[in-house]
Amino acid sequence: MNTGQSEDLLLLLKAAADENRLKMIGLMSERAYTVSELAALFNLTEPTVSHHISKLHGAGLLRLKMEGNQRFYSINEKRLATLKAYVNGIEKLPSRAEKVKSNTSWIEALDWNEADKKVLRDYTVDGRVPNLPSKVNKWLVILRWIATKFEPGKHYTEKQVNAILREINEDYATVRRYLIDYGYMRRELGGGDYWLTPENEKS
């Protein structure tokens, strides 16, 4: 297990290191739940459940599906499998610090302010975003960068959008939805056609 994997293991363990969150992982491995359903089951307030969900989702352990105005959360089986594999290989943790550096030359070449570059350095590894941020201000930086993967004026099918986003994070559906929700992309009613939001339409 290299240093990068060790850090990812720590992220996953911190996300799961709560009795309620462990129980939620078990429940959402069986089916999807809304925040209100979980709040009723655990006798917790919805803001408290949302906090737990944010921790799990930020570590990539949950998938989000929208049905109308409702948000359903279920377990991300691949990410959970990664956690299990890490735990099984925990005896292979490095005995000394390894210096594994991500290539950040592309970040330094951006004409962005230092704060935004730091977000990219913190959340990307060689052009991928292994763990999605939980804070909106960091999401906006990541989404702004992801939007550069698309050509202005060009229209994309949902399949093409998914293929591009899958190279960045396996939970491409969540990334795609956030690109729409935060106004970086537009889509045709029904989701068949996607394009970058023109500069004159951005708020």
In this structure, of 7-16, 24-33, 55-64, the range with the lowest mean pLDDT score is 7-16
Print burial letters for 129-143: b (CB count within 10 Å at least 16), e (below 16): bbbbbbeeebbbbbb
What pLDDT is attached to residue 97?
A: 47
Whether residue 49 lies inside any domain: the answer is: yes
pTM of the model: 0.53
Whether residue 98 lies inside any domain: the answer is: no
Task: Tell me the pLDDT of the chain averaged across its residues.
Answer: 87
- The CATH number linked to 39 is 1.10.10.10
Rounded to an integer, what distance in angstroms lies between the CA atom of residue 123 and that of residue 127? 10
Domain count, the chain: 2
Residue 75 has pLDDT above 80, yes or no: yes
Residue at which a domain ends, from 49, 67, 91: 91
Read off the tokens for 103: 């290539």
Q: pLDDT tens digits, residue range 123-146?
A: 898 888 988 887 889 999 999 999
Residue at which a domain ends, from 36, 56, 91: 91
